[in-house]
Structure 1
Amino acid sequence: MSGTDNVALAGRTPDQPQPYKELGMNEEEYRKVRDILRRRPTASELAIYSVMWSEHCSYKSSKIYLRQFGEKAPKTDKLLVGMGENAGVVDVGQGWAVTFKVESHNHPSFVEPHQGAATGVGGIVRDIISMGARPVAVMDSLRFGAADAPDTRRVLPGVVSGIGGYGNCLGLPNIGGETVFDPCYQDNPLVNALCIGVLRHEDIHKASASGVGNKVVLYGSYTGPDGIGGASVLASASFDEESQAKRPSVQVGDPFMEKLLIECSLELFHKGLVEGIQDLGAAGVSCATTELAAGGTGGMDVQLDRVPLRDPNLLPEEILMSESQERMMAVVTPANVDEFMAVCARYEVPATVIGEVTDTGRLVMTWHGEVIVDIPPRTAAHDGPVYERPVAVPADQARLQADTPGRLPRPSTRDELRKTVMWLAGSPNLADKEWITSQYDRYVLGNTVLAQPENAGVIRLDDETGLGVALALDGNGRYTRLDPYAGAQLALSEAYRNVAATGAQPLAVTNCLNFGSPEDPGVMWQFSKATEGLADACLALGIPVTGGNVSFYNQTGSTPINPTPVIGVLGVHADVRRRTAMAFAAEGHKLVLLGTTREEFGGSEWAHVMYGHLGGLPPMVDLPAEAALGSVLITAAQETLLSGAHDLSDGGLSQALVEASLRGGLGVRVALQGDPFTELFSESVARAVVAVRPEAETRFVDICTQAGVPFTTIGVVGGDSFTVDGLFSIPLHELREAHTGTLPNLMA
């Protein structure tokens, strides 16, 4: 491609070959671009359409399913900004709003783990800034191959250092998340990053370029060759032997510039100097210009040669495709340009006027006076191809569900049960993640109330009233592989339960949907069922989806990962001083098991750890029971009836008791009524174990009875061991050694 390719030349050379396939476009898409323009595209126009119509940016294979998140959305007056913007915004009371979103940076994190993960954090933080909010916390959901696999030792430390290094430099606390190991993620790790920001209702900003004559300002880092083609080439392709050669497609982050960009942007917003705003993430200048123009009066003129460059040899199409980090684009009235520039200069943030808003309905770009782009911006930003891909149940689905864990030998003797508790406590997925989380600052800014390994992260928003929010990120690829509809609902219900366990009222949802190739009918069946299940469950629980991300092509060769929808739930605390922590730290307090336990082991951690088995059906979804349990936990927190609470999920009651005991430093003594194996290790949902204050026992029983939540007193907090009457007793120091030693030993 040549930097001299312009619109006039394109009109005179209709048959000039163009590398559309190398840019990720198929022949039909290329023909559609030619039909829109009524000529061949210039090299720069082809660059724009290739990145904007990529799977990563256009959602062309998922759009028909994502619509139901809006169509089935529960009615609520709390949703201030929904899907379609950089991030959703919800009202949390007292004039405060919260914006939050989770996105993937999976493929870059495999190719170059540190920078891939770091720029994933940087990108999601800029999404939050672009809504007019101050970022206040981050979270992450990570998945790697087998914990002892050689490539896991390469990828995991780099991902963790990238997340920690970038977030710590920004001064943002990392308050929670999850880390999961499974062979299906070998060579295709999942790195999903979430950010939450806070703003007043009146400070919401959107991505639109309105006001003819307003100036378009690019500010932040200079544009370089890093990340070129990241959206169209790297994020929309499956991995193969040549993946390592794609390093140039991975962006390079500068957290110190991002910190300046945050403070600079917030001052610009505060002074009312911004009419429209868009961060430059995937697709870079192509995305920012087309989306701003399409969201406003519909026209924009850009002088592309005015973009400040780190590499003066970049061609215009490379500038358009670059995903260099720490950049923003603002629309500014002519009267405010000088003050806008002065604010940027004070923060030492480069800023350049590169164009202005028009009413032509065209996005026109020039390069040293030659017109190299002349397109209707909406055709690139919103009117890309929409595919209804073939859908088919995977050939092995029936066999998989028929292979139930009932055929697996179960522990029955006292010694076998004791060993199973220990093995689960020290298994990579359930073991202590302090090796990872100690590299993150959890308490910077001083507003962190709860952080990992708690049920959910909790952040204080208002010092006087104690207003705050809770956030949880959850997913389970094994459940979703067994039943995609139920698996997505189970991920939502676990995140909902985690938030409610702290005492927060669940309010809204974000999601990151990680799947294999959309060209595989089996994958599209999984995706269609998972999105349907999630939409139905959100409607049932009354919490809308505010936005999120789809990540396709997560596979190595022809083998996809387990379908992995990661669900983030936001909840509101009227007063964070009344939150409930997970630790059992009060001697003599009664332990009460809430909910119904069934014999449910399909996709369980027990089957995975002990036998590497995946088969059967996941636990039964029970959304009414989940809502009822949530109401009990929230009311109990508001009335300070509990000294500790922990949800039951992976590893069942056994693992919940282990974690809460180790967190609080006190043991537990419990008595089981039914089959010990089922009681200890079942993963039935809508359950929690709580420690009830002695003076609150009667009131707590009343609350459970009124809500229709089954409750059973199973024991008491105290001592220095995990004891199950008549079966076994494990000293806490043994459990702690097993629980905390796994990751350090694996990563040594």
Structure 2
Amino acid sequence: MSDPEITPDVIAAHGFTPAEWEEVNRILGRAPNFTEMGIFSAMWNEHCSYKSSKKWLRTLPTEGPQVICGPGENAGVVDIGDGQAVVFKMESHNHPSYIEPYQGAATGVGGILRDVFTMGARPIASMNSLSFGEPAHHKTKQLVHGVVAGVGGYGNCFGVPCAGGEVRFDPAYNGNCLVNAFAAGLADADKIFYSAASGVGMPVVYLGAKTGRDGVGGATMASAEFDDTIEEKRPTVQVGDPFTEKRLMEATLELMATGAVISIQDMGAAGLTCSAVEMGDKGNLGVVLDLEKVPTREENMTAYEMMLSESQERMLMVLRPELEAEAKAVFDKWDLDFAIVGETIAEDRFLIRLNGEIKADLPLKALSGTAPEYDRPWEPTAPAPSLTDIPSIDPIEGLRALISSPNYASKAWVYEQYDTMVMADSARTPGFGAGLIRVHGTDKTLAFTSDVTPRYVKANPVEGGKQAVAEAYRNLTAVGAVPLATTDNLNFGNPEKPAIMGQFVGAIKGIGEAVAALDMPIVSGNVSLYNETDGTAILPTPTIGAVGLIATSDRIIGFDVREGHVALLLGAAGSHLGQSALLAEAFGRSEGDAPPVDLAAEAAHGDFIRANHAMLGACTDLSDGGLALAGFEMAHRAGLGLTLATGDTAALFGEDQARYLIAASAQDADTLRASAESAGLTLTEVGRFGGDTVRFGDASAPLADLSALYGSAFAQTVT
């Protein structure tokens, strides 16, 4: 089969700008052939090369005494004491999930799980952050059902508990949903596996499932906007098999125990190309591949197809040759492919052969180290005008507007489709605050959360970036955890537009400032750009996944809200309604500035919560919906009414930051207030739990009626 002609249209379809294509020709001193063009396209696209974001990603704090491995590997690694480490990362599968929701979401889960166990860690938790268009849009219900089924179908079969996540709806996502998948695993701190190849003449081994044509060109597709040709992109979506992935994990972890692994890399975006290039580049080695040795499940695959396939459940390894027999026996046992497909070489060369014929001969370093890097023009987001027209509403009607919206109603319809208890170490399942997973065989517990408020980021990227980190910090703190580190999934529109690039730059500045102030370094992450359809961008959505540690089980802040417990507000009274949930849901308005974030106050309040954990019956942070929504959610979970003294709209629904709602006994409340006063903090009694009514000022409603609305609104919207 002869290669297609390389025309200007073919070059453009592979994502090259004229200047980039000229640079490829200059590097090679000749025109590339079709396979070589595909390899360059895979390595130089936005999804793999981060060419628009590298400049700014370098500014993020990534180090700390707790960090064992920061960005650059398959996942970040953080020390949790006693010779153990938590390994975690978040990645997007946005474009594939919009094109084919079930498989797009499923393979997103599969890919992030591989990133974790490739490092030598056994996965113990997953999360997902999902953003969909407005519920009335003709495609939203299909996307919600397909994505949720895909996330659950893969994760449940693989056998990892879902610890939490978030779901939002906004018209800005009508043409481009977001599916951000998170996974975390446990490993021995001295047995982490990395991807840098070492040693000349070492065997390069293909592991796992066979290669097909699914996903060919997927990384390039993920680096472009959508338009009316979207349905033609369906073949670029991968197909996943969670049962094969489960076997691959067990085989990989068993293989690692043999000592046969020099380096190992997941085959994710750009498949065999990216995994081989990254291993060689990090080890300053070249790689030779003989593609006729690659296990395939389709006939007559070309070199181009094999190099760019994104078939799932595959790994690439550099092997200690003396342990080949032991390594192969492991994969034979698990009925998975094990094939030596090449070797490492000393020279800077990526040589691809098929049946003895050279299909590509490229300088390996040029594919990775000299990928384009752009300093895109950017313009700062104009300051949002202050909200001067402060609306007023009956407080119970305001609450009803929130809890009847799919954005703030119970997400039980979603998380009940996920296995949250598999492995039997879940200490708190989704539905209220951070998820908790016990570290098996110890008294430690890990806490997980995922947070961002996109409307804040659009109004004020710097404060919105700060707030995403601050909310993650509060969610971890509210269960008693010491925040350890973060991973980010930076979802934005077209970076070639200065306004969009300005959103990205502002958010990075805010995130960097917050993770430094709150000692939550970024240890891994993903950038997803070009999330636009027909020129309409998504809301800027820099999702923050965060992990915290609770050293002993007696430091967990549980949920014990009783009749007569006092409701205490740590922090200032509510006042900020700009960009608030109430404004959006009750009035259909997105106006005003994002709330400012005081990072010193965040740290001081977090320290106070952890220091006084034993006196807290329950604790939650205040974010969307302010005191009213936080108080209702606590009352709903306790099955007890709540009386808040104030009926003021801003006091109830303001989204001022650095605040927590606490439930405590009257005696403990007195002690807490004295402790807060001595620390110079504001802790105010705002109400009481008890009875069967929710009362805000003079307005009231039966808790049972509100709980019924809260529990049913989401399912009624999407079914």
Shorter-normalised TM range: over 0.9
* SS in structure 2 of the partner of residue 143 of structure 1: strand
Match of 2:636 in 1: 662
| Distance change in 2, residues 1:566/1:56 (3 Å) | same
Could you tell me which of 711, 715, 718 is aligned with 1:740? 711
Match of 2:208 in 1: 220
Could you tell me which of 454, 457, 475 is aligned with 2:452? 475
Alpha-carbon contact 2:380-2:506 (below 8 Å) kept: no
Paired residues for 1:493-642 under 5 Å:
493-581=470-558, 583=559, 585-637=561-613, 640-642=614-616
Cα distance, 1:573 vs structure 2: 0.6
Question: What's the RMSD between the two structures over aligned residues?
Answer: 1.7
* SS in structure 2 of the partner of residue 592 of structure 1: strand
Alpha-carbon contact 2:622-2:630 (below 8 Å) kept: yes
Whichever residue aligns with residue 623 of structure 1, its letter is L
* SS in structure 2 of the partner of residue 197 of structure 1: strand
Could you tell me which of 709, 729, 741 is aligned with 2:700? 729
| Distance change in 2, residues 1:18/1:649 (3 Å) | closer
Supply the distance in 1 between the matched residues of 2:158 and 2:369 (Cα, whole angstroms): 33
Cα distance, 1:741 vs structure 2: 1.3
Alpha-carbon contact 2:44-2:367 (below 8 Å) kept: yes
Alpha-carbon contact 2:258-2:326 (below 8 Å) kept: no
| Distance change in 2, residues 1:191/1:706 (3 Å) | farther
Could you tell me which of 88, 94, 97 is aligned with 1:106? 94
Identity level (%): 42
Whichever residue aligns with residue 245 of structure 1, its letter is E
Note the alpha carbon deviations across 1:50-98, whole angstroms, 9 max, x for none: 01100000000011111101xx44x621110011111110101111101
Supply the distance in 1 between the matched residues of 2:517 and 2:152 (Cα, whole angstroms): 36
Supply the distance in 1 between the matched residues of 2:353 and 2:281 (Cα, whole angstroms): 19
2:112 is equivalent to residue 140 of structure 1: no
2:238 is equivalent to residue 247 of structure 1: no
Note the alpha carbon deviations across 1:628-671, whole angstroms, 9 max, x for none: 1111121222xx21111111100011100111111121122222
Match of 2:622 in 1: 648
Note the alpha carbon deviations across 1:617-637, whole angstroms, 9 max, x for none: 011111111111111121222
Note the alpha carbon deviations across 1:129-155, whole angstroms, 9 max, x for none: 111111111000001011232211111
Alpha-carbon contact 1:2-1:43 (below 8 Å) kept: no
Whichever residue aligns with residue 657 of structure 2, its letter is V
TM-score, length basis structure 1 = 0.94
Match of 2:407 in 1: 429
Match of 2:14 in 1: 23
Alpha-carbon contact 1:58-1:382 (below 8 Å) kept: no
Alpha-carbon contact 1:458-1:468 (below 8 Å) kept: yes
Match of 2:2 in 1: 2
Note the alpha carbon deviations across 1:596-631, whole angstroms, 9 max, x for none: 124211111011102221121011111111111111
Paired residues for 1:315-330 under 5 Å:
315-330=302-317
* SS in structure 2 of the partner of residue 536 of structure 1: helix
Paired residues for 1:25-104 under 5 Å:
25-69=16-60, 72-73=61-62, 76-104=64-92
Cα distance, 1:702 vs structure 2: 4.3
Note the alpha carbon deviations across 1:458-502, whole angstroms, 9 max, x for none: 1111434x1121111001110000000110111111111000000
2:648 is equivalent to residue 676 of structure 1: yes
2:372 is equivalent to residue 385 of structure 1: yes
Alpha-carbon contact 1:584-1:661 (below 8 Å) kept: no
Cα distance, 1:585 vs structure 2: 2.9
2:351 is equivalent to residue 364 of structure 1: yes
Whichever residue aligns with residue 684 of structure 1, its letter is D
Paired residues for 1:299-448 under 5 Å:
299-393=286-380, 397=382, 401-402=384-385, 404-407=386-389, 409-411=391-393, 416-448=394-426
Supply the distance in 2 between the matched residues of 1:743 and 1:707 (Cα, whole angstroms): 42
Match of 2:436 in 1: 458
Supply the distance in 1 between the matched residues of 2:328 and 2:4 (Cα, whole angstroms): 31
Alpha-carbon contact 1:482-1:618 (below 8 Å) kept: yes
* SS in structure 2 of the partner of residue 617 of structure 1: coil
Whichever residue aligns with residue 662 of structure 1, its letter is H
Cα distance, 1:429 vs structure 2: 0.7
Note the alpha carbon deviations across 1:390-419, whole angstroms, 9 max, x for none: 21246xx45xx23x54325321xxxx2221
Report how many residues are paired: 719
Cα distance, 1:194 vs structure 2: 0.3
Cα distance, 1:578 vs structure 2: 3.0
Whichever residue aligns with residue 690 of structure 2, its letter is G
| Distance change in 2, residues 1:463/1:525 (3 Å) | same
Supply the distance in 2 between the matched residues of 1:601 and 1:264 (Cα, whole angstroms): 53
2:691 is equivalent to residue 719 of structure 1: yes
Note the alpha carbon deviations across 1:199-220, whole angstroms, 9 max, x for none: 0111111111111221111111
Whichever residue aligns with residue 197 of structure 2, its letter is A
Supply the distance in 1 between the matched residues of 2:633 and 2:369 (Cα, whole angstroms): 47
Alpha-carbon contact 1:506-1:543 (below 8 Å) kept: yes
Cα distance, 1:705 vs structure 2: 3.1
Alpha-carbon contact 1:584-1:663 (below 8 Å) kept: no
* SS in structure 2 of the partner of residue 741 of structure 1: helix
Match of 2:166 in 1: 178
Paired residues for 1:172-321 under 5 Å:
172-232=160-220, 234-321=221-308
Supply the distance in 2 between the matched residues of 1:264 and 1:708 (Cα, whole angstroms): 55
Note the alpha carbon deviations across 1:544-590, whole angstroms, 9 max, x for none: 11010111011111111111110111111102343123x45322222
Match of 1:120 in 2: 108
Supply the distance in 2 between the matched residues of 1:480 and 1:707 (Cα, whole angstroms): 32
* SS in structure 1 of the partner of residue 58 of structure 2: helix
| Distance change in 2, residues 1:81/1:18 (3 Å) | same
Supply the distance in 2 between the matched residues of 1:440 and 1:316 (Cα, whole angstroms): 39
| Distance change in 2, residues 1:731/1:376 (3 Å) | same
Cα distance, 1:313 vs structure 2: 2.1
Supply the distance in 1 between the matched residues of 2:692 and 2:673 (Cα, whole angstroms): 28
| Distance change in 2, residues 1:528/1:562 (3 Å) | same
Cα distance, 1:365 vs structure 2: 1.5
Task: Flag structure 2 segments of 5+ consecutive residues without an equivalent.
Answer: none
| Distance change in 2, residues 1:179/1:351 (3 Å) | same
Whichever residue aligns with residue 689 of structure 2, its letter is V
TM-score, length basis structure 2 = 0.97
Alpha-carbon contact 2:91-2:182 (below 8 Å) kept: yes
Match of 1:8 in 2: none
Cα distance, 1:113 vs structure 2: 0.4
Supply the distance in 1 between the matched residues of 2:343 and 2:406 (Cα, whole angstroms): 54
Alpha-carbon contact 2:692-2:702 (below 8 Å) kept: yes
Match of 1:9 in 2: none
